[in-house]
Amino acid sequence: MDKVRLGFIGVGNRGTQLLEYSMANPKAEIVALCDVYVPYVERDRSKVDPAFLANRKVPALTESFSGTVDRYTDFRDMLDRPDIDAVVIGTPDHWHAVQTIMALRAGKDVFVEKPLTSTIYEGRRMVEVEAETGRVAGVCLNRRGSSIYRELAQRGADSIVGKVVNAYASHTSNMYPDGIGRAEAQEPPAGFDWDLWLGPRPYRPYTKSIAPYNFRWQNEFSSQMGNWGVHYMDVIRWLTGERAPISVTAVGGTYAVDDDRNIPDTMTVLFEFASGRVFEFQINEASAGYKIPGGEIELRGTKGTLRVDQNGYQAVPTKAGQFQDWDALIEPEEKHIESGDSFGDLGIKENSTAILIDNFLDAVADSSVKPYCSLEEAHRSTSFAHLANIALATGERLRWDAENERFTNSDAANDMLHYEYRPPWSLE
pLDDT at 29 over 70: yes
Cα-Cα-Cα-Cα dihedral of 410, 412, 414, 419, to 10°?
-170
Question: Cα 416 vs. chain centroid, distance in angstroms?
Answer: 20
Per-residue model confidence as pLDDT tens digits over 279-295: 999 999 999 887 788 88
> What pLDDT, on a 0 to 100 scale, did the predictor assign at position 293?
82
For 73-90, b/e burial (b = at least 16 CB within 10 A) is: bebeebbeeeebbbbbbb
Cβ pair 264, 404 in contact under 8 A: no
Q: What is the CA radius of gyration of the chain?
A: 22
CA atoms of 74 and 36, how far apart (whole Å) = 7
| pLDDT category of residue 56 using cuts at 50, 70 and 90 | confident
Average pLDDT over residues 71-99: 98
Q: Which of 17-26, 114-123, 162-171, 319-328 has the lowest mean pLDDT?
A: 319-328
- Stretch (H or E) spanning 352: helix 352-365
Residue 119 one-letter amino acid: T
> What pLDDT, on a 0 to 100 scale, did the predictor assign at position 294?
80
> What pLDDT, on a 0 to 100 scale, did the predictor assign at position 377?
98
CA atoms of 129 and 124, how far apart (whole Å) = 9
Closest CA to 281 of 121, 166, 193: 166
pLDDT at 219 over 80: yes
Q: What percent of the chain has pLDDT over 90?
A: 89
For 376-393, b/e burial (b = at least 16 CB within 10 A) is: bbbbbbbbbbbbbbbbbe
Per-residue model confidence as pLDDT tens digits over 300-324: 999 999 999 999 999 999 998 889 8
> What pLDDT, on a 0 to 100 scale, did the predictor assign at position 345?
53
pLDDT at 263 over 80: yes
Average pLDDT over residues 412-420: 97
**What is the dotted CATH code of the domain comprising 145-181+214-347+379-414?**
3.30.360.10
Between 347 and 10, name the one with better pLDDT.
Answer: 10
> What pLDDT, on a 0 to 100 scale, did the predictor assign at position 51?
84
> What pLDDT, on a 0 to 100 scale, did the predictor assign at position 21?
96
CATH 3.40.50.300 is the classification of domain 4-144+351-373 = no
Average pLDDT over residues 264-272: 98
* Comma-separated ranges of CATH 3.40.50.720 domains in the chain: 4-144+351-373
Pairing of strands 297-301, 28-34: unpaired
pLDDT at 338 over 60: yes
Q: Measured at the alpha carbon of residue 116, what is the angle toward residues 113 and 117, in degrees to the nearest 5?
A: 130
For 143-159, b/e burial (b = at least 16 CB within 10 A) is: bbbbebbbebbeeebbe
pLDDT at 347 over 90: no
What is the reported pTM?
Answer: 0.95
* Comma-separated ranges of CATH 3.30.360.10 domains in the chain: 145-181+214-347+379-414
> What pLDDT, on a 0 to 100 scale, did the predictor assign at position 348?
67
Between 337 and 75, name the one with better pLDDT.
Answer: 75
pLDDT at 351 over 70: yes
CA atoms of 184 and 212, how far apart (whole Å) = 14
**Would you tell me how many other CB atoms lie within 10 Å of the CB of residue 298?**
22
> What pLDDT, on a 0 to 100 scale, did the predictor assign at position 40?
96
> What pLDDT, on a 0 to 100 scale, did the predictor assign at position 341?
58
CA atoms of 245 and 277, how far apart (whole Å) = 9
Q: How far is residue 262 from each of residues 8, 150, 206, 336, measured CA to CA in Å?
A: 30, 36, 16, 39
Per-residue model confidence as pLDDT tens digits over 150-178: 999 999 999 999 999 999 999 999 999 99
pLDDT at 343 over 60: no
